[in-house]
Amino acid sequence: MKQTSDLFEHTAGHVIAGVDEVGRGPLAGDVVAAAVVLPDYPLTGLTDSKALSEAKRLALSEIIRREARSWALGRSTVAEIDELNILQASLLAMRRAVEGLSIQPTLVLVDGNRLPRWPYEARAIVKGDLTEPAISAASILAKVARDQEMVALDRRYPGYGLAAHKGYPTKAHLTALKALGVSPIHRRSFAPVKRLLADPEVG
């Protein structure tokens, strides 16, 4: 899908960073965000990470990391998610990603309809990962990074199937959770986990 930005006339002269996060819905693992300042030339193939095959995401992730003027990851931990709630934790992860950039952006484009609290000029764009190349690049980096982390956590916490479902509440995950109990990387504030902690027999 070829992308064109309807913000082009408003972004001339800006150093633009795109930001997106991955991992709001899972029952386990951190929420991970990425921020990307793209090069001055276009990178082909950028779109919403969920619309790409795993192989294509991996290939594009390598290109983005190599070609971007700057990129950074940010996260909120499981403990922060449980303390703050998932929305605030996601916004915090995005803020941390932007703060990690080696280039100071003058305009930040954020996927979604909410902006973190920060000093940057910013715009929230619903479905921005489909329309704004910098946000697409951020979504790809964030998803690849989080997916790889969940594969590693699957080896550390075997039996839950984390490598397959990446922590999302699939039937297999819920069944394993009831059988094995709640691990340290499960989000205790999320309803299925909270119910299991309250009554292990019900799950």
Whether 116 and 123 have beta carbons less than 8 Å apart is answered as no
For residue 1, being part of any structural domain is answered with: no
Question: Same structural domain for residues 91 and 58?
Answer: yes
Q: What is the DSSP-derived secondary structure letter of residue 146?
A: H
pLDDT confidence tier of residue 11, bands split at 50, 70 and 90: low
For residue 22, being part of any structural domain is answered with: yes
Containing H/E element for 124?
Answer: strand 122-125
pLDDT confidence tier of residue 199, bands split at 50, 70 and 90: confident
**Which single residue is written with the structure tokens 């930005």?**
5
In the predicted model, is pLDDT for residue 137 greater than 50?
yes
Domain span at residue 94? 8-155
Which residue type is seen at 188? R
Average pLDDT value for the chain: 93
In the predicted model, is pLDDT for residue 40 greater than 80?
yes
Whether 61 and 144 have beta carbons less than 8 Å apart is answered as yes
What is the domain count for the chain? 2
Q: How far separated are the first and last CA of the chain, in Å rounded?
A: 43
Query: What whole-number percentage of the chain has pLDDT above 70?
Result: 93
pLDDT, tens digit, 9 for 90 and up, residues 84-126 = 999 999 999 999 999 999 999 999 999 999 999 999 999 999 9
In the predicted model, is pLDDT for residue 196 greater than 70?
yes
